[in-house]
Structure formats: structure tokens, C-alpha cells
């Protein structure tokens, strides 16, 4: 008998993908944004990296599932794997939207990069706030959760400032 993912595992997997995708997109913005005039390149790199990592995760789960099942996966199983990994790709969209605003001239390119990074860190902070609220913590603990969860994004931001 094959164990089935519990609802908690399923939801945690989706949210983990979104968190990972946010960290990935934020990191790519930080690494690729050395020259504001290359905002188009940064945008393509964020999109391309997000798509490639989504495909890589789908592929890895598909290969692992084939090894465990001892058979090729059915099309419906492949679609289910792709859907399960979808939050990883989807989480890059707010960051990409900000970068696109810079490309079309709504935002200054330098400002677009800064706002895109803030969106990524802000999303991570929001996940931390949600954790604290769901755990019925008091506000100091809720804020501490937000800071802790956004810590990796803040570290990436600090590295960008230090290196650039």
C-alpha cells in the first residue's frame, strides 16, 4: 500500500514551494541587478530561472515517483506533480510584475529593482506574520516570526548592498 500525502503535508508542500520560489526570485534579482540599464536581462533571468527550477522540481518528483512506483507515471499523475509544484513558479509573479513596471517606464529601473526585492522580502515577512497569527501569538512574537521568516531575504538584500 502506498502512503498518501496527508492534507497537512499537501498544504505544507505547496506553501514551501511558494516560499522557495520567492527566495529564488529575490536572489536572482539581487544577483542580476548590478546594472539598472539591464532591467530586461534581470527580468528574463528571473522568469527563466523560475521556470527552469519549476521544471527541475517537477522532473525530480516525477523521476522519484517512477522509482518508487516501479512504473511510468500516468499523464494524470504527471499533471498532478506539475500542479503540486506550481506555487514555486507562481510566487515569482509579483516580483516579475514590479520588474515589468520598470521595463515599461512606470518605475525607474533602479527603483523597480529595489521594489522587486522589497516585494520578495515582504512576502516572506508576511508568511512569518501569518504563522504568528495562526499560532495565536502576541504581537512581539508575531513580528519576530515575520523577521525570522524574512531573514533569508534580508540576508540576500544585505549581500546585494555589500557586494554592489
The CA distance from 107 to 89, in Å, is 24
8-state DSSP, 137: -
The span from the CA of 18 to the CA of 27, in Å, is 14
- pLDDT for 1: 40
Q: What was the pLDDT predicted at 154?
A: 85
Domain boundaries defined on the chain: 7-163
* Residues 30-65 pLDDT 10s: 888 877 678 999 999 999 999 999 999 999 999 999
* pLDDT < 70 stretches in the chain: 1-4, 36, 164
Which one, of 110, 111, 62, 67, lies nearest residue 83 by Cα? 62
Amino acid at each position: 500500500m502506498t502512503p498518501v500525502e496527508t492534507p497537512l503535508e499537501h498544504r505544507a508542500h505547496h506553501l514551501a514551494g511558494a516560499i522557495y520560489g520567492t527566495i529564488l526570485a529575490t536572489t536572482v534579482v539581487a544577483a542580476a541587478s548590478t546594472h539598472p540599464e539591464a532591467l530586461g536581462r534581470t527580468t528574463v533571468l528571473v522568469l527563466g530561472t523560475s521556470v527552469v527550477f519549476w521544471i527541475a522540481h517537477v522532473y525530480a518528483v516525477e523521476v522519484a515517483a517512477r522509482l518508487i512506483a516501479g512504473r511510468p507515471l500516468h499523464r494524470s499523475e504527471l499533471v498532478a506533480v506539475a500542479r503540486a509544484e506550481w506555487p514555486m513558479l507562481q510566487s515569482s509573479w509579483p516580483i516579475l510584475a514590479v520588474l515589468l513596471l520598470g521595463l515599461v517606464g512606470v518605475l525607474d529601473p533602479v527603483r523597480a529593482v529595489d521594489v522587486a526585492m522589497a516585494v520578495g522580502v515582504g512576502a516572506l515577512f508576511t508568511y512569518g506574520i501569518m504563522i504568528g497569527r495562526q499560532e495565536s501569538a502576541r504581537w512581539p512574537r508575531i513580528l519576530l516570526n515575520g523577521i525570522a521568516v524574512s531573514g533569508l531575504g534580508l540576508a540576500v538584500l544585505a549581500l546585494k548592498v555589500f557586494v554592489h
